[in-house]
Amino acid sequence: MADRDTLLKILDLARWAPSGDNTQPWRFEIVSESHIAIHGHDTRDWCVYDFRGYASHIAHGALLETLRIAASDAGLIATWALRDGTTDVAPIYDVTLEPSADIAPDPLLAFVESRVVQRRPMQTTPLTAEQKAALKHAVGDDFELSFFESGQMKRRVAKLLWDSAYLRLTCPEAYEVHKRVIEWGARFSDDKIPEEAVGVDAATAKLMRWVMQSWARVAFFNKYLAGTIAPRIQLDVLPALRCAAHILITPKSTPTEFLDYVRAGQSMQRLWLTTASLGLHLQPEMTPVIFRWYAQNGVPIAADRSMDAASACLAEQFDVLSGRASDDPLVFFCRVGKAPKPVSRSLRIALRSLLQPS
């Protein structure tokens, strides 16, 4: 059994789990001294990047793994199960906490709150064999890692991200997401991405802020003034070239239900926290993976059907780059490397606002 203060401390740390665009698709319910319910939701109804809720399900897994790590500091073992009758749209994860004299604080505990996204260029110092072994161990036996480290592979990833960014920046549905998730003029944000953490220089940020006030401005700027060039160079090409490696997480078994993406999120969070423990930073590079999900499933990505052909081309390009078959499952793509700690970052919604009555 754990008192309420201990449970609040666990949840206060668990809420630092990563989520797409800092959406934090969860709420907490303290049911009893040994039972916490995580009320999950997704953003598929408004976010083009949350294909079938997969991105949110991955975030749910990251939260559950972070909660497990936080509980270890209180000598508690946390296990979870999906509540019967709940669905992938609004899953409820019942977490049971049991004391154990044998459990020690997880070594990744110290990095839960300090883990950040580094969107700016990193050092190109190659990963050591020991670092790669630690990252492989972090994701567990059900997943495998592929490393893209050579200059040639980084250039190919840069080309993939360049093409992916064009689709991202010319898609009206994506524009609505970008407009919603960036907090302009901010260094920190509780529930969005602050402007200073976006990863562009001050001049480009100022221009983006003005252009993104309407889709008409974005479309005009893209068509007549090459408006996608500067963001793609700063947000995609330079970071792709300036890193130690790009890493792809692939499940060894094809996902058959949404809980498989939840489990992938647990592995993703262990990878990210292990990266931080090695003195490295990480940036997710998920848009090619997400656009590939659309192409794999034959689902339109936008009202403009020409976007479908673009996403199919991206999926094929990604498959060639990664050496994967078109039906192979991919769940997470990122880059890692050494870099200064960002001065700007996303924060989290206060715990009191995430709690709901039992």
Regarding whether 93 and 10 lie in a shared domain, the answer is: yes
Q: Say if residue 237 is in the same domain as residue 319.
A: yes
Compute the distance between CA of residue 128 and CA of residue 276 in angstroms, rounded to an integer: 15
> Looking at the domain assignment, is residue 254 inside a domain?
yes
What is the mean predicted confidence (pLDDT) over 148-157? 98
Same domain, 62 and 135: no
pLDDT in tens, 185-197: 999 999 999 999 9
**pLDDT of amino acid 227:** 87
> Is residue 123 situated within a structural domain?
no
Asked whether residue 155 falls in the same domain as residue 273, the answer is yes
| Residue 83 shares a structural domain with residue 212 | no
Asked if pLDDT for residue 1 goes beyond 90, the answer is no
Overall average pLDDT of the 118-144 stretch? 98
Residue where one domain finishes, among candidates 114, 144, 164 = 114
**Contact of 72 with 105, CB cutoff 8 Å:** yes
* Domain-terminating residue out of 87, 114, 141: 114
Residues 304 and 177 placed together within one structural domain of the fold: yes
The pair of structure tokens assigned to 281 is: 């930073």
At 308 the pLDDT is: 93
Same domain, 66 and 162: no
Q: Say how many domains are in the chain.
A: 2
Decide if 263 is inside a domain: yes
The mean per-residue pLDDT over the stretch 164-170 comes to: 95
Question: Is the same domain home to 32 and 156?
Answer: no
How far is CA 313 from each of CA 32, 144, 158, 300, 348, rounded to the nearest angstrom?
A: 51, 25, 15, 14, 36
Judge whether 122 lies within some domain: no
What's the average model confidence in pLDDT over 304-329?
A: 94
pLDDT band at residue 225 using 50, 70 and 90 as cut-offs: confident
Confidence of residue 358 (pLDDT cuts 50, 70, 90): confident
Gap between the Cα atoms of 198 and 208, Å rounded = 11
Total-model pTM: 0.97
Tell me whether residue 121 is in a domain. Answer: no
Between the CA of residue 253 and those of 143, 225, 330, what are the distances in Å?
A: 8, 46, 10
pLDDT tens digits, residue range 10-37?
Answer: 999 999 999 999 999 999 999 999 999 9
Same domain assignment for residues 207 and 296: yes
Q: What is the CATH number of the domain that holds 29?
A: 3.40.109.10
Tell me, yes or no, whether 96 and 178 share the same domain.
no
pLDDT at 351 over 80: yes
Token pair 């802020």 is at which residue? 209
**Domain assignment present for 351:** no
> How confident is the prediction for the chain on average, in pLDDT?
96
Domain CATH for 151 = 3.40.109
Q: Domain span at residue 13?
A: 4-114
